[in-house]
Amino acid sequence: MKKQNVLKTVIDKYTNTSLVLRILCGLVIGAILGIFLPNIGWIGILGDLFVGSLKAIAPLLVAVLVISSLSQGNAKLDRRFGLILFLYIISTFLAAVVAVVGSFLFPQTLTLAETATAETIPTGIGEVLKNLLTSMIANPFGSLVEGRYIGILFWAVVLGLALKKLASDGTKQMFTDISNAVSHAVRWIINLAPFGILGLVYSSVSSNGLAIFTNYGKLLALLVGCMLTVALVVDPLIAGIAMRRNPYPLVFRCLKESGLTAFFTRSSAANIPINMQLCERLGLDKDMYSVSIPLGATINMDGAAVTITVMTLAAAHTMGVKVDIFSALVLSFLATLGACGASGVAGGSLLLIPMACSMFGISQDVSMQVVGIGFIIGVVQDSVETALNSAGDVMFAATAEYTRWIKEGRKLPEFMQTKKEKKISK
């Protein structure tokens, strides 16, 4: 009996401790073990189990949430949803513009040698759009198994609307119960995030060490610098204009609670359950975020736009191709559309680089070498990229929601209130 009480006490203390604090502890412990004990293979398995479980349950979570929300009859994708879409697209385009400016100020030269190879890659924007449309009508069970969120969203919306019109109250309640059960299972998985992060950090540190910073330090600095500029300047500016108030409390909240875990999972898709939980804590409308968050994991790709643009312009500079301002703007537009078609998995944006390189007549043999370099630095580049993408998914969903609250005179969460509003509420 005593052992059971002690175990319950330990579990209670663990769950009541801030998740961010627990993750930071896992991060530090993983880094220390990776440096001093790099050959303990089972520690890295913890990270694989964590990411694998998130990737496994995320498609099911998205499907049941969307079906449940739409079938209840109170889900209306109103102007807030249109604003979310606009914010996703405009931020991705401006991220590409930031990458263009950064590449012009600090042009990079790559060392190209061996010819790289890869799986099927898109050769033009038409193929990217075709793939998106084809994914929409793919077999829904196949989409669930393979984690293709465009297909999952499309069929979930269709089924949800059909159930709204035809299903009995009992059937609708069944989907609500299933949705709640899956959401509860997600909470269990997220509670184990510190152990998963420990394993992910251990694997990265023990395998790569710090050598990655010396070989491609300047290129990494440009990529990360552009992404940080987007995360800390461009996106907050967009949110601030929309809400007409200081956006940084929301920005830092999203970076801390979404970006931190996304940095280590390196997958926007795997981070969907975590973003759903954050939206719930922010008080957002479940009918909205159950659709906008998985959609954001597909089309809100600021980091991908930066990666595609920077790597393409580095290839052009290496090959001696002169890029004028007009061509750079066209590249920004192309990178925006291409980024929207990037898969929400680790390294998803890299296979779109050859498509952008083709705009400047750079051969696929050369562009695939650039992709190879991208995979070498991906342990850092892809982590920062995913953190930017995933945090932006929640931030812009909250921006659209809070913008409406402000117009309606509704009370914002305390962390978003001005000093004057806090005094009035007291």
Task: CATH number of the domain at 242, please.
Answer: 1.10.3860.10
Q: What confidence tens digit (pLDDT) does each residue in 235-277 have?
A: 999 999 999 889 999 999 999 999 988 888 777 777 888 898 8
Q: What percent of the chain has pLDDT over 70?
A: 83
Task: Give the pair of three-digit tokens for residue 80.
Answer: 């807030």
- Number of compact structural domains in the chain: 1
**Is 90 exceeded by the pLDDT of residue 392?**
yes
Confidence of residue 93 (pLDDT cuts 50, 70, 90): very high
Mean pLDDT of 2-19: 73
Q: 178 near 68, Cβ under 8 Å?
A: yes
What pLDDT was estimated at residue 115? Answer: 43
* Cα–Cα distance, 352 to 385 (Å, whole number): 15
Confidence of residue 114 (pLDDT cuts 50, 70, 90): very low
- Taking the CA atoms of residue 261, residue 267, residue 268 and residue 273 in that order, the dihedral angle to the nearest 10 degrees is -60
Q: 84 near 398, Cβ under 8 Å?
A: no
Q: What confidence tens digit (pLDDT) does each residue in 17-64 have?
A: 777 678 778 878 888 888 888 788 788 888 888 778 877 887 887 788
What pLDDT was estimated at residue 140? Answer: 84
What pLDDT was estimated at residue 1? Answer: 53
The residue range of the domain holding 193 is 2-425
Confidence of residue 167 (pLDDT cuts 50, 70, 90): confident
* Cα–Cα distance, 133 to 340 (Å, whole number): 12
What pLDDT was estimated at residue 3? Answer: 59
What pLDDT was estimated at residue 376? Answer: 67
Give residue 384's Cα distance to chain centre.
10
* Cα–Cα distance, 346 to 284 (Å, whole number): 28
Task: Give the pair of three-digit tokens for residue 15.
Answer: 């769950």
